[in-house]
Amino acid sequence: MFRYIVRRLLQMVLTFFGATFLLYALVFANQEDPIQALAGERPITQNVRQVLTERYHLDDPFLTQYWYYMKGLLTGDFGTSLTGRSISDMMAQAWPTTIRLALMAIIIAATVAIVAGVISGIRRGSIFDNVTLVLTLVILSLPIVVLAPLTQLIFGIKLGWFPPTTGADPGFFKLLMPALVLGSLVVATELRVTRTSVAENLRSDYVRTARAKGLSRQRVIGVHVLRNSLIPVITLIGVDIGQLMAGAIVTEQVFNIPGVGFNLFRGIRTEDGPLVVGFVSILVIIFLVVNLLVDLLYAALDPRIRYE
């Protein structure tokens, strides 16, 4: 086990460099005219264009640009955005907010998904099962660009239960509505997977054995079925944590949360290479760590799984 973890940590270092390289290549491929992109519709004079191009090395070849970037990164300097702001500052502001938001969303989503999924998995075809199916379909058929403003309108403005927007450095309550919306993005898949997994395990031989041995229904479900059913679910949750951090673009925009999704969107729109790569390198690290934890959890949940 220990050797496995060490090996995974070593892989991480390699993966990290691979990821930054790939990302820089993608950003470079996307970079056509960052100076105009930053200016929006305003005309740019030749002089300004020339100065900014040289200041940010925009006319250098790909490898040179990547070299400049990595040189900074290895000394802990994420560089500056094309607007002149320090990317480290931007990250210090954005990451805590987004991590809070994503964790809240994933906790809400996972709780709802596991509770509702287990119940509907046990009672397949019941009213509860069908109601959750319909709700799942409703969430699925409303894209986030519709769902988020609609939630804001109903609960933030009409009913006034929540503050309609969040703003910088928000507390738990302000993040609740965005977290609910964000969580709904992933709840459907997690719920259906839990349901299937539980239904499947209920039919397996070990449950029959346990029941035959006289174990109570609660104990069979609570200990044996749930434990074995959780493997696919935690896999999904692991993937979703990261995706909620990067993919909260629409949610962060609608609820005015200056987080990672917002910064990524801004960086991509203005073709701001250092900004995008900086944020995404952290994101890749998060994925690597979370997925390692998930893999270790497999072994904890199912003793038959061993890593050597």
Partner 1 sequence: MSDIQAATAEEQPDAAAPEPRHNAKRDKPRSLAADAWADLRRNKIFWVAAVLVVIIVTMAIFPSLFTSANPRACTLSRQHSGPTGSAFFGYDFQGCDVYARTIYGARASVEVGVLATLLSGVIGLIFGLSAGYFGRWVDAVLSRFIDIVLGVPFLLAAIVLAKRLSQDPQNNGVVAVIVTLGVLGWTSAARIMRSSVIAAKNQDYVAAARMLGAGPARLMMRHILPNSIASFIVVLTILLGINIASEATLSFLGIGLKGDAISWGIAISEAGPYVRVAPTPLIWPSVFLAVTVLAFIMLGDAVRDAFDPKLR
Partner 2 sequence: MLGKSPWKMAVGATAIALLAAGCSSGGSGGSDSADKTIVVGIGEPQHLIPSNTTESNGAEVLDALFYPLIKFDDKNEPVEVAAESITSDDNKVWTVKLKSGFTFSNGEPVVADNYIDAWNYGAYGPNGQNAAYFYERIEGYADLQSEDPDGDGPKEAPEPKAKTLTGLKKVDDNTFTVTLSAPFTGWKSVMGYTAFLPLPKAAFSAPGVIADGFEEKIVGNGPFKMKGAWQHDAQIQVEKVDDFKGDVPKVDGVTYKIYQDDQAQYADLVAGNLDVQTTIPIESLASAPSDLGDRFKKSPNSVFQFVGFPTFQKEFANADVRRAISMAINRQEITDQIFLGSQTPAAAFVSPVVAGYRPNSCGEYCTYNPTKAKQMYTAAGGPSEIKITYNADGGHKAWVDATCNQLKAALGVNCTGVGEPKFADLLTKVEKKEPVGLIRLGWIMDYPLMENYLGPLYSTTGSSNYYGYSNPAFDSLVKEGSEAPTTEEAIKKWQQAEDILAQDMPVIPLRFGQNVFGHSERVKNVNVDLFQKLDLYKIEMA
Where does this chain bind partner 1 (CB under 8 A)? 7, 11, 14-15, 18-19, 22-23, 26-27, 29-30, 133, 136-138, 140-146, 149-150, 153, 188-189, 192-193, 195-197, 200, 203-206, 209, 228, 231-232, 235-236, 238-240, 242-243, 246-247, 249-250, 264-265, 268, 276, 280, 283-284, 287-288, 291, 294, 298, 302, 304-306
Q: How far is the CB of 171 from partner 1 (least distance, A)?
A: 27
The interface region with partner 2, picked from 8-16, 183-191, 255-263, 280-288 by CB under 8 A, is 255-263
Binding mask 13-32 for partner 2 (x = CB under 8 A): -------------------x
Which tokens sit at 118? 């287990």
The interface partner of residue 19, options being partner 2, partner 1, none and the CB cut-off 5 to 8 Å by kind, is partner 1
Beta carbon nearer to partner 2, 90 or 210: 90
Label residue 172 exposed, middle or buried (CB < 10 Å: 0-12, 13-18, 19+).
exposed
The interface partner of residue 83, options being partner 1, partner 2, none and the CB cut-off 5 to 8 Å by kind, is partner 2
| Residue choice 247, 252, 264, 279 for contact with partner 2 (CB under 8 A) | 252
Beta carbon nearer to partner 1, 243 or 256: 243
| Residue choice 79, 117, 121, 156 for contact with partner 2 (CB under 8 A) | 156
105-134 positions binding partner 2, by CB under 8 A: 112, 115-116, 119, 126-128, 131
CA nearest 170: which of 64, 99, 246? 99
143: left (phi over 0), alpha (psi -120 to 50) or beta: beta
The interface region with partner 2, picked from 7-15, 157-165, 194-202, 206-214 by CB under 8 A, is 157-165
Beta carbon nearer to partner 2, 228 or 263: 263
CA distance 165 to 70: 37
The interface partner of residue 131, options being partner 1, partner 2, none and the CB cut-off 5 to 8 Å by kind, is partner 2
Q: Tell me, letter by letter, the H, E, C secondary structure of the chain.
A: CHHHHHHHHHHHHHHHHHHHHHHHHHHHHHCCCHHHHHHCCCCCCHHHHHHHHHHCCCCCCHHHHHHHHHHHHHCCCCCECCCCCEHHHHHHHHHHHHHHHHHHHHHHHHHHHHHHHHHHHHCCCCHHHHHHHHHHHHHHHCCHHHHHHHHHHHHHHHCCCCCCCCCCCCCHHHHHHHHHHHHHHHHHHHHHHHHHHHHHHHCCHHHHHHHHCCCCHHHHHHHHHHHHHHHHHHHHHHHHHHHHHHCCHHHHHHCCCCCHHHHHHHHHHCCCHHHHHHHHHHHHHHHHHHHHHHHHHHHHHCCCCCCC
The interface partner of residue 29, options being partner 1, partner 2, none and the CB cut-off 5 to 8 Å by kind, is partner 1
177-236 positions binding partner 2, by CB under 8 A: none
The binding site for partner 2 (CB under 8 A) comprises: 32-34, 36-45, 47-48, 50-55, 59-60, 83-85, 89-90, 93, 112, 115-116, 119, 126-128, 131, 149, 152-153, 156-157, 160-165, 167-169, 171-174, 176, 252-256, 258, 262, 269, 271
